[in-house]
Amino acid sequence: MTGLRIEAMAGRHIDAVIAIDAVSYSHQWSAAMWRSELAASGRRHMVVIDDDSVVAHAGTLQQLDELHVTTVATHPGHRGRGHATRLLVDLLRAGVASGAEAATLEVRAADRATHRVYGRLGFSPAGIRPGYYSAPTDDAVIMWLHDLSSSEAQSRIDRLATDIESREARA
Ligand SMILES: CC(C)(COP(=O)(O)OP(=O)(O)OC[C@H]1O[C@@H](n2cnc3c(N)ncnc32)[C@H](O)[C@@H]1OP(=O)(O)O)[C@@H](O)C(=O)NCCC(=O)NCCS
């Protein structure tokens, strides 16, 4: 797709990211919280830019060999085009390159569509945090992707990346 690129999130993207979060989450980080997040160690945040507009973002926190997916959101008008998957592919690859051996995240129990996005990447449900989310109240499902650096996990991630590229080429 013409005009589509991924880059590291920087201060100039904060307002657009907050605007995406405002229509994606019940709670958002403020600009000050984003500035300190971007300056903190172990964090990696990426954005998808389509024709000069930020349309999706995702981020991770790496602690030793564990990668925690902290944020993923795509603007509602740009969902279903592979942006979240593409960001997660890049973040998982970057995590492996920095020594991550496993990745984890929490997702709303009711949010089946998001479970599918994570499931395709190899994340599996591993536990529940009751009442973790508010507005509306929901349990969190804790998901893990173990053996992140295994050849099986790498092949799965590579296949998804190829699939996204071929869908984009056809779009
Ligand atoms: C969850 C969320 C980030 C997904 O974003 P997205 O960019 O729409 O996700 P993707 O496009 O990668 O995947 C969604 C679907 O599009 C499909 N798709 C369409 N075109 C595609 C393409 N070109 N390449 C790859 N997948 C494509 C995927 O296969 C997937 O299909 P599915 O519905 O059968 O699972 C988005 O819905 C969102 O922002 N939700 C609100 C915030 C939130 O809940 N975040 C998660 C917190 S845990």
Residues with CB under 6 A from ligand 1: 24-25, 56, 72-74, 79-85, 107, 111, 113-114, 116-117, 164, 167-168
How far, in Å, CA of 96 to CA of 134, rounded? 32
Look up the pTM and report it. 0.95
Number of domains in the chain: 1
Q: Whole-number mean pLDDT of the chain?
A: 95
pLDDT above 60 (res 1): no
Overall average pLDDT of the 162-170 stretch: 88
Type and span of the H or E element at 52: none
What digits encode the pLDDT tens for the residues 90-140?
A: 999 999 999 999 999 999 999 999 999 999 999 999 999 999 999 899 999
Tell me the pLDDT band of 2, cut-offs 50, 70 and 90: low
Which range marks the domain in which residue 65 is found?
4-170
pLDDT above 80 (res 171): no
Residue 34 identity (one-letter amino acid): W
pLDDT above 90 (res 26): no
Q: What three-state secondary structure class fits 7?
A: strand
> What is the per-residue DSSP string for 59-125?
EEEEETTEEEEEEEEE-GGGTTSSHHHHHHHHHHHHHHHTT--EEEEEEETT-HHHHHHHHHHT-EE
Q: Ligand 1, residues 74, 112, 156: which to mutate, most atoms within 8 A of Cβ?
A: 74
Q: Which atom of ligand 1 is nearest to the CA of 105?
A: 48
Q: Ligand 1, residues 61, 79, 138: which to mutate, most atoms within 8 A of Cβ?
A: 79
CATH of the domain at 41: 3.40.630.30
pLDDT at 170: 83
